[in-house]
Structure 1
């Protein structure tokens, strides 16, 4: 929690103003009972109406001054707390952007969303309360005790006797409730995960009529969160009644013993009224403190979860500063081996090949052979376990990730589009692209025709995830996004699967001219879409089972021939 609170240093002047204003408000609240005692003893009892008006005026002025300080303190504390929340959210987002896919797999997307939203909100709320209470509660408690003792020291023994009962009750309740706050956040993570899966996978759920089962799954996650939240609130619900009981019994005792002292002439009526007010202020300070005790543990859990993310270091970081342009358009794998953390066996083993500018290298293999993992190593989404990968003649570990990725035009297997216009999505590959560059990339990707057929053309709005476009349209926009960069290395991860054969053929013909000076890496399932490549790499169980042209592999490689025979006719194979 303290690590998060260090972000308030930027707002130290605002925090200082809050503390000063809260101090003024507390002093005003402590002064009012004394004025009330004075107005009763010297005005009401003696029947001095002018004196009542005079002191009453002072009470109004002090109340107005305290209220103004309270409003100003609320404004400045809100500004500091919300500003800190904004800064922490930006800090977390910036830090998470540096993560490799390994860290995303470890923490989970749903948990990262919860930590960036709900957890930071919890911390914001407690900081907002703390800025007001951390000064106000101690001043009210100590100041109230001092003023009460100054009115009647003997009667103050009632307060001193009640406070230990109150403190012990608070500590006992918190001891039972605090461990459950961690569980609440975990259950919230789970609910967020299930809800996110349902919303993103709604088409699949409906296609397989799984709505009833998914409702049960969501209800289970929701019920688990509800159950643990109810348990926490049941425990915390005892806090306020206990405090009110102790407070009311204390007031009754004070009135009882105060009445005896007034009857004996040891105390005035006004002092007893002021004494009761100070007791209420003391108890109110304890109530505020107890509210902090409720909020701080939960916020501490959230703060720990935020700190866990901020403390995580990417599995690898930029160490080198070499420029990745020694041999433009080359890609080399040299004895590359990769294993996922905790895996018993490597996903890829001893992968070695070299691709030069102007060449097309295709990779084919069965499901689980390691094709997608292999291409995820090139932009350094994961770190190789052994061996080296060189782009443009430079080891990807010896150049910055930004520079390596700037040389790559990547089209993932699943076409991801962002909310915005069609032009914005293509421009995602090159932010300063001119309109003619956008149109040229779209034309090469065979997307220009369908874009112009839309009502707003390139200004057509793309919904989140491209939900208002077909699969083939999304793929072509993703290809255009990669083309507009004019990179040294193109990576197409099964990026033509949603295209019909005519569009596929036209696109490949256009790509051949566009990518003559670059290296092209194709990942695919269809032999027909890869057979014209300069080099075909056959993967089987993470190893290279064969390498060569289509004709060579048909003659010499059993694995490739089995794949070809399952897809092509005898005439095509012959």
Structure 2
């Protein structure tokens, strides 16, 4: 786990090494200061200022050097930790880009967002503490103990006896707080999920006047996180009193034992300066334990995020991209051979069951079916967003698992009913299909998608700015822009997943007519609820409960008198009544 995270340090190795180096120098200088001060106290004779000036200059120089080393250590630690966090976020983001839909379903979107934000921040803070404070603490402890024992072994044993007592208390605290931290980060996931749902569906929330419900739901989740964090903070707050108790007990014992030694031996066994140094070393030892408790708390907070982050980094996508996969598709032909599919091994029910068909390149296929009939599940197997559970899907004469994923998906364009537009101009959105497309190409595909007409009505035309999610254009305009973007890929297979549902029937007919005339060699799969959107297809599939229950041309299916005929009659009757 740690080895995997260390791979994200990369170009910040130098800063990660310099920080503990300067910390070590700072500790050495701080440990020498009490020794020099003891010499100054013991060498003060009469009214002479010479020893004070001599040792004072030495102490000032050492203090300045210590301060400089501390500042440099802090600077390099900040640079290293921030750079480490940047690389770690990038590694997570790039890893997620390779995930299949099934992988994203495994973690959930909100959980992945939490891991890339809150979890990475906790790991960043812990890393900064580790390369600075966690280095300083043991070094200060070791040097202070050694220096103290060089003066008086008997008194130094007081400090050594306190270390396991305080260490045991810290372990007891850790035992209590670790399970709570584990629970807290799962609650963070649920709280972020609530925020995402509320913001994404804010129009629905407002239209149903459900703001109070949304507030109550968020408040309940936020309050749950607060309660757990309060509980943890109450336990962690015991750190300070335990540490202070240890410091005061040690100071009292050192003062008592040291004074007794000085009085009983008439100053020959332990000088006043040495006692002063021992007290300083005792403070350093116990301050080190206090700093250790801070590092300990930070590492406790980061332990669960580390596990959650490495869980993502170690996760192998269920879709394996072949090393020497095929780079080109021969054509847009599609073949399903006894395909069955379920979303996970835990699912008892198959989303698709024993699907078999062949689609020649350039054909137009219509697919209709009720909600939940697995129309979208079927088309997701073509571009290998999921893999089949049983059977095989062949595109261009080869199994989709033999293709390089990027090459396959470059040749398959999918336009969803709720496709996404990104913040930026219309040109920038369209060029997701082809980043090098000329303005003339943009206008051509927009004419095919019946989008050019409304674009020309905007004051800035193709330079019109689209808000995030396309909130400043209508549903029909958004769908047509998404169709144009897909056409810009010049795909061998074009899939429209109910992506003309928000346009009127006339515009829908014009789009299909443009497809027949301009892209006759592209295989077109049209999923729709309206019969008029698929009636001129070469073949129509009727789906129900994950199976193809009817197939044929429009006339054949109407004559057969099955489900298709019922839908056709109901929609025809509705139009006549209208």
Question: Following superposition of structure 1 onto structure 2, how do residues 258-407 of structure 1 map, counting pairs within 5 Å?
Answer: 258-263=258-263, 264-265=266-267, 266-319=269-322, 321-326=325-330, 328-341=331-344, 342-407=346-411
Q: Look up the match of 1:457.
A: 461
Deviation at residue 172 of structure 1 after TM alignment: 1.6
Deviation at residue 157 of structure 1 after TM alignment: 3.0
8 Å Cα contact 1:42/1:48 also seen in 2: no
Deviation at residue 130 of structure 1 after TM alignment: 0.4
Question: Following superposition of structure 1 onto structure 2, how do residues 451-490 of structure 1 map, counting pairs within 5 Å?
Answer: 451-490=455-494
Mapped to 2, the partners of 1:323 and 1:518 lie a distance apart of 18
Q: Name stretches of at least 5 consecutive residues in structure 2 with no aligned partner.
A: none
Mapped to 2, the partners of 1:28 and 1:570 lie a distance apart of 89
Q: CA RMSD in A?
A: 1.9
Deviation at residue 507 of structure 1 after TM alignment: 2.3
8 Å Cα contact 2:5/2:310 also seen in 1: no
Mapped to 1, the partners of 2:511 and 2:383 lie a distance apart of 24
Q: Look up the match of 1:242.
A: 242
Deviation at residue 381 of structure 1 after TM alignment: 0.7
SS in 1 for 2:499: coil
8 Å Cα contact 1:337/1:348 also seen in 2: yes
Superposed structure 1 runs of 4+ greater than 6 Å apart: none
Q: Look up the match of 1:31.
A: 32
8 Å Cα contact 1:190/1:221 also seen in 2: yes
Deviation at residue 68 of structure 1 after TM alignment: 1.1
TM-score (norm 2): 0.95
Q: Name stretches of at least 5 consecutive residues in structure 1 with no aligned partner.
A: none
8 Å Cα contact 1:4/1:303 also seen in 2: no
SS in 1 for 2:357: strand
Deviation at residue 135 of structure 1 after TM alignment: 2.4
Deviation at residue 10 of structure 1 after TM alignment: 5.0
SS in 1 for 2:154: coil
Deviation at residue 126 of structure 1 after TM alignment: 0.6
Deviation at residue 191 of structure 1 after TM alignment: 0.9
Q: Look up the match of 1:120.
A: 120
8 Å Cα contact 2:5/2:88 also seen in 1: no
Q: Look up the match of 1:213.
A: 213
8 Å Cα contact 2:329/2:408 also seen in 1: no
Q: Look up the match of 1:510.
A: 514
SS in 1 for 2:99: coil
Q: Deviations over 1:104-134 (max 9, x none)?
A: 1111000011111111111111111100123
Deviation at residue 570 of structure 1 after TM alignment: 9.3
Q: Look up the match of 2:199.
A: 199
Mark the CA change 1:26 to 1:466 in structure 2 (over 3 Å): closer, same or farther. same
Deviation at residue 557 of structure 1 after TM alignment: 4.2
Q: Look up the match of 1:145.
A: 145
8 Å Cα contact 2:149/2:156 also seen in 1: yes
Mapped to 2, the partners of 1:363 and 1:280 lie a distance apart of 78
SS in 2 for 1:410: strand
Mark the CA change 1:214 to 1:354 in structure 2 (over 3 Å): closer, same or farther. same
Mapped to 1, the partners of 2:311 and 2:362 lie a distance apart of 46
SS in 2 for 1:155: helix
Q: Deviations over 1:284-324 (max 9, x none)?
A: 11112111221112212111111111222111212362344
Q: Look up the match of 2:252.
A: 252
Q: Look up the match of 1:549.
A: 553
Q: Deviations over 1:455-508 (max 9, x none)?
A: 322222222111122111111110110111111111000011111233223322
Mapped to 2, the partners of 1:69 and 1:482 lie a distance apart of 58
Query: Is 1:79 aligned to residue 76 of structure 2?
Result: no
Deviation at residue 218 of structure 1 after TM alignment: 0.7
SS in 2 for 1:354: strand
Q: Look up the match of 1:40.
A: 41
